[in-house]
Amino acid sequence: DIQMTQSPSSLSASVGDRVTITCRASQSISSYLNWYQQKPGKAPKLLIYAASSLQSGVPSRFSGSGSGTDFTLTISSLQPEDFATYYCQQSYSTPGTFGPGTKVDIK
Amino acid sequence: EVQLVQSGAEVKKPGESLKISCKGSGYSFTSYWIGWVRQMPGKGLEWMGIIYPGDSDTRYSPSFQGQVTISADKSISTAYLQWSSLKASDTAMYYCVRRKAEGVFSGGYYYYMDVWGKGTTVTVSS
């Protein structure tokens, strides 16, 4: 299985901050990388697919970049509704493993 | 509206069997893979397996192979996740997801989980 890691595991930020989350794959996965947001008690929601494609309806303050083994999710200006846990997931091979998550909370 | 509607919460005893369901609507059920994702209490997401309802082709994560069975009944647009003998460690939230495919210019597909059910809580306790 391809192993996914994320850093940091958690971060505290203020409304308006620029936030960057990193995801790393144990082998090259080209651009087969997705990002999901999960709020407490809710199902995850797709934000970004294919490393940098914004899912329909997702605010443009979210962006993704990277290829190969290193990827980033950036929130350009953190909003109150963005406090959540973020997961990366590789879709290069089965099983489509997830990263351990990054929790973003209020400073 | 595209949606996946999951069956309700379950409370079971160790050793009991269980089958939970996920009904798709608003799209062609047989044209998309349906997957299952586990989330243990306070933990992250785990990819369990997927099924293509069109022909019942099924793939499992090695971690879940032999532990669960994924099936589908395309006549009623419903996918299932079942256990023959539950353990306390099966206590978790289980999400069903639709896996969408988008073609890559160079060949192949990008896969991503674009629709999620609300989840089914399974509690296994004596």
Contacts of B55 (CB under 8 A, 6+ apart): none
Q: A83, A14 in Cβ contact below 8 A?
A: no
pLDDT for residue A44: 98
Percent of chain B with pLDDT over 90: 94
pLDDT for residue B106: 77
B99 to chain A, minimum CA–CA distance in Å? 10
What is the CA angle A53-B109-A21, rounded to 5?
35
pLDDT for residue B87: 98
B75 to chain A, minimum CA–CA distance in Å? 26
Q: What is the pLDDT of residues A12-36, one digit of tens each?
A: 999 999 999 999 999 999 999 999 9
Give the C-alpha separation, B112 to A97, whole Å. Answer: 12
Confidence label for A106 from pLDDT (cuts 50, 70 and 90)? confident
Q: Position A45: which residue type? A: K
Confidence label for B103 from pLDDT (cuts 50, 70 and 90)? confident
Q: Indicate the helix (H) or strand (E) that contains A105.
A: strand A102-106
Is A36–B111 a contact, with Cβ atoms under 8 angstroms apart? no
Give the C-alpha separation, A10 to A41, whole Å. Answer: 18
Q: What is the pLDDT of residues B8-59, one digit of tens each?
A: 999 999 999 999 999 999 999 999 999 999 999 999 999 999 999 999 999 9
Q: What is the mean pLDDT of chain B?
A: 96
Greatest alpha-carbon span in chain B: 53
Facing residue for B110 by CB, picked from A38, A43, A49: A49
